[in-house]
Structure 1
Amino acid sequence: MSAVTLLCSPRPGGVSDTAARIFAEGAAEAGVGMRPVALRDYSILPCTGCRKCAPPPHSCRIAAPTACRPDQTEEIFALLRSAPLVFIAAPVYFYALPSHFKAFIDRSQRFWAARGQSPQQRQNAVVAALTAGRKHGRRLFSGSLLTLGYFLRALGAELRQTRLLRGLEDPKDLLRRRRACACLRDLGRNWGQWAAGMRENT
Structure 2
Amino acid sequence: MHLFQKATFYTSVNDMHALPQHTGVEIAFAGRSNAGKSSVINTLANKNRLAFVSKTPGRTQHINFFQLNESQFLVDLPGYGYAKVPDNIRKHWEELLSQYLQTRESLKGLVLIMDIRHPFKALDIQMLDWFIPTGKTVHIILTKADKLSKQQANITLQHATQYVHESYPGCSVQLFSSLARSGIEDATSVINSWLSVD
Look up the match of 2:121. Answer: 102
Tell me if the contact between 1:19 and 1:184 (Cα under 8 Å) persists in the aligned partners: no
Tell me if the contact between 1:128 and 1:162 (Cα under 8 Å) persists in the aligned partners: yes
The reply to whether residue 136 of structure 1 matches residue 151 of structure 2 is: yes
Q: Percent identity?
A: 11
Tell me if the contact between 2:108 and 2:194 (Cα under 8 Å) persists in the aligned partners: no
Look up the match of 2:194. Answer: 191
Pair 18,73 (structure 1): closer, same or farther in 2 beyond 3 Å: same
Look up the match of 1:56. Answer: none
Pair 187,69 (structure 1): closer, same or farther in 2 beyond 3 Å: closer
Secondary structure in 2 matching 1:136: helix
Look up the match of 2:40. Answer: 19
**Structure 1 stretches of 5 or more lacking a match?**
46-67, 112-119, 198-202
Deviation at 1:73, TM superposition (A): 2.3
Pair 84,186 (structure 1): closer, same or farther in 2 beyond 3 Å: closer
Tell me if the contact between 1:6 and 1:36 (Cα under 8 Å) persists in the aligned partners: yes
Q: Distance in 2 between matches of 1:145 and 1:38?
A: 25
Secondary structure in 1 matching 2:34: coil
**Structure 2 stretches of 5 or more lacking a match?**
1-24, 47-66
Count of matched residue pairs: 143
Pair 87,77 (structure 1): closer, same or farther in 2 beyond 3 Å: same
Pair 87,78 (structure 1): closer, same or farther in 2 beyond 3 Å: same
Which has the larger Rg? 1
Look up the match of 1:32. Answer: 72
Larger relative contact order (CA 8 Å, sep ≥ 6): 1
Pair 6,187 (structure 1): closer, same or farther in 2 beyond 3 Å: same
Superposition pairs of residues 62-77 of structure 1, within 5 angstroms: 69-70=87-88, 71=91, 72-77=93-98
Q: 2:109 aligns with which of 75, 85, 97?
A: 85
Secondary structure in 2 matching 1:139: helix
Deviation at 1:35, TM superposition (A): 0.9
Secondary structure in 1 matching 2:138: strand
Structure with the largest fraction of strand: 2
- The normalised TM-score by structure 1 is 0.51
Deviation at 1:142, TM superposition (A): 4.1
- Alpha-carbon displacement from aligned partner over 1:28-72 (angstroms, at most 9, x marks no partner): 369420110132487799xxxxxxxxxxxxxxxxxxxxxx94223
Look up the match of 2:175. Answer: 164
Pair 151,32 (structure 1): closer, same or farther in 2 beyond 3 Å: farther
Pair 105,127 (structure 1): closer, same or farther in 2 beyond 3 Å: closer
- Alpha-carbon displacement from aligned partner over 1:136-165 (angstroms, at most 9, x marks no partner): 225213444456567757xxxx41x33223
Q: Distance in 2 between matches of 1:126 and 1:38?
A: 17
RMSD (CA atoms): 4.1
Secondary structure in 1 matching 2:173: strand
Secondary structure in 2 matching 1:88: strand
Q: Distance in 1 between matches of 2:110 and 2:166?
A: 16
